[in-house]
């Protein structure tokens, strides 16, 4: 039976392929240290779990949830934005609950993209930006993120005819995979650009609360005029160690939010009400666990960066996210180098090519592993003679 062309064109999901390589190595008896996937390794805080338990025992939560999310959850989101960013949102018209932010990111193109339309996609970038575009029949115009521009897209080089055709622009700061952050001036330029070309900005802020040394990333919605041109996606996954709970939201322009909610009402039946109750506990409850995780990730980040510096890498410590983005040694592709680490050291990293053309030449290390295993991974690289100036012929 012939599958649809969109499925034939769909590349294997990056982490699924990594999982296959890990399984093969484990079957061969290798003790694998996986620094690949960005899945927090610490449990969801206890008060959030209790919130779910209490709500799940109420039979009222066992029925179909409200499509756009309970008003109580959306009010909690609005309150969180006001407390943390000084942003005012109407919980009724400017917020919609999502089954994790990835779901909304994948579906937003269905709201605005007709076959042949163009979306502006960061490269390297989260794969869901491109796959969501493709599922809607659209085309991705890649905006290169390069070190020389601090991994910010250069809006001035986007051709005028491309900008006029573009429907959506996806952005993500703090950035996965590069760890880059965006200054206020950049977001102001984005608002002006989107207004000029009638483009909807879709900002993915999943990592905004994982930041270090008193640095606090901006929300796109803090920028004057942002709600006129776009929305922001957010998730409880990284902030509260809730990746498996599948709860997030989109907030901003009420027309875009209404369109996304309309698509969702025809595709899914919303988030389990008890999970939304747990989300309320997360947003309104004590935030000490968030600060504790920031300190934990900062400690792990320092071990990775200092270890790689010892091995010849020149790296700055990222100011946010749960990742370290590093160049591969000269002469390697990102896939070749990732394979080398697996084969010679039993260490898994994510090859940058999985995030796009401009990700090749880099690899991503996740900080979602306890510090002892990270230290062991660095020692394995030392023992295997792997350095930034590694000679391909020597190994």
pLDDT for 207-246, tens place per residue? 999 999 999 999 999 999 999 999 999 999 999 999 999 9
Structural domains in the chain, CATH included, are 5-43+288-384 (3.90.1150.10), 46-284 (3.40.640.10)
Query: Can you give the pLDDT at residue 394?
Result: 45
Instruction: Tell me the pLDDT tens digit for each residue of 301-335.
Output: 999 999 999 999 999 999 999 999 999 999 999 99
pLDDT at 9: 74
C-alpha–C-alpha distance, residues 102 and 248, integer Å: 8
Rounded CA-CA distance 239/261 in Å is: 24
Confidence check: pLDDT of 66 > 70: yes
- Mean model confidence pLDDT for the chain: 95
Residues 172, 321: Cα–Cα separation, whole Å? 11
In this predicted structure, what is the pLDDT of residue 389? 85
Which residues is 231 bridged to in the sheet? 202, 252
Q: Nearest 5°: phi and psi at 24?
A: -65, -45
Indicate the pTM of the whole model.
Answer: 0.95
pLDDT of 292 strictly over 90: yes
| CA 392/CA 384 separation, integer angstroms | 13
| pLDDT, mean of residues 171-192 | 98
Q: Contact 143/123 with Cβ under 8 angstroms?
A: yes
For residue 142, the cross-strand partners are 121
Q: Does residue 174 have a cis bond before it (omega within 30 degrees)? A: yes
Q: Are strands 350-351 and 362-366 parallel, antiparallel or unpaired?
A: antiparallel
Sign of CA dihedral 317, 368, 52, 64: positive
Q: Is the pLDDT of residue 366 over 90?
A: yes
pLDDT surpasses 80 at 12: no
Give me the pLDDT at residue 285, please. Answer: 97
Asked which of 27-41, 48-62, 288-302 is least confident by mean pLDDT, the reply is: 27-41
Sign of CA dihedral 335, 237, 173, 67: positive
The set of residues, in sequence order, having a beta carbon less than 8 Å from that of 21 and lying 6+ positions away, is 342, 348
pLDDT at 6: 81
**For range 370-374, the mean pLDDT:** 97
Is the per-residue pLDDT at 391 higher than 90? no
């Amino acid at each position: 039976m012939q599958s649809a062309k969109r499925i034939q064109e769909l590349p294997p999901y990056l982490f699924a392929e990594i999982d296959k390589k890990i399984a093969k190595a484990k079957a061969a008896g290798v003790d694998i240290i996986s620094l690949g996937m960005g899945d927090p390794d610490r449990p969801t805080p206890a008060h959030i779990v209790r919130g779910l338990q209490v709500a799940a025992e109420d039979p009222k939560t066992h029925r179909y949830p409200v499509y756009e999310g309970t008003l109580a959850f959306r009010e909690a989101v609005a309150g969180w934005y006001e407390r943390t960013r000084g942003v005012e949102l109407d919980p009724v018209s400017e917020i919609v609950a999502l089954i994790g932010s990835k779901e909304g990111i994948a579906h937003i193109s269905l709201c605005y993209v007709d076959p042949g339309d163009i979306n502006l996609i960061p490269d390297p970038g989260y794969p869901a930006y491109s796959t969501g575009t493709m599922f809607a029949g659209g085309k991705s115009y890649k905006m290169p993120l390069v070190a020389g521009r601090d991994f910010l897209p250069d809006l001035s080089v986007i051709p005028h005819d491309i900008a006029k055709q573009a429907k959506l622009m996806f952005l993500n700061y703090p950035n996965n995979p590069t760890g880059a952050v965006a200054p206020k001036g950049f977001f102001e330029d984005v608002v002006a650009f989107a207004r000029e070309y009638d483009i909807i900005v879709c900002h993915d802020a999943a990592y905004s609360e994982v930041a270090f040394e008193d640095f606090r990333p901006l929300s796109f919605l803090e920028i004057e005029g942002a709600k006129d041109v776009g929305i922001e996606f957010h998730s409880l996954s990284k902030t509260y160690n809730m990746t498996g709970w599948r709860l997030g939201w989109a907030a901003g322009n009420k027309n875009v939010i209404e369109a996304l909610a309309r698509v969702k009402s025809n595709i899914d039946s919303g988030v389990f009400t008890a999970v939304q109750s747990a989300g309320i506990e997360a947003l309104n409850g004590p935030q000490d666990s968030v600060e504790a995780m920031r300190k934990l990730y900062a400690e792990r980040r320092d071990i990775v960066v200092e270890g790689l510096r010892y091995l010849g890498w020149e790296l700055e410590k990222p100011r946010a996210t749960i990742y370290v983005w590093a160049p591969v040694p000269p002469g390697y592709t990102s896939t070749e180098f990732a394979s080398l680490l697996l084969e010679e050291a039993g260490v898994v990293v994510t090859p940058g090519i999985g995030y796009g053309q401009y990700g090749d030449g880099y690899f991503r290390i996740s900080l979602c592993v306890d510090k002892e295993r990270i230290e062991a991974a660095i020692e394995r690289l030392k023992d295997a003679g792997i350095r930034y100036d590694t000679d391909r012929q020597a190994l």
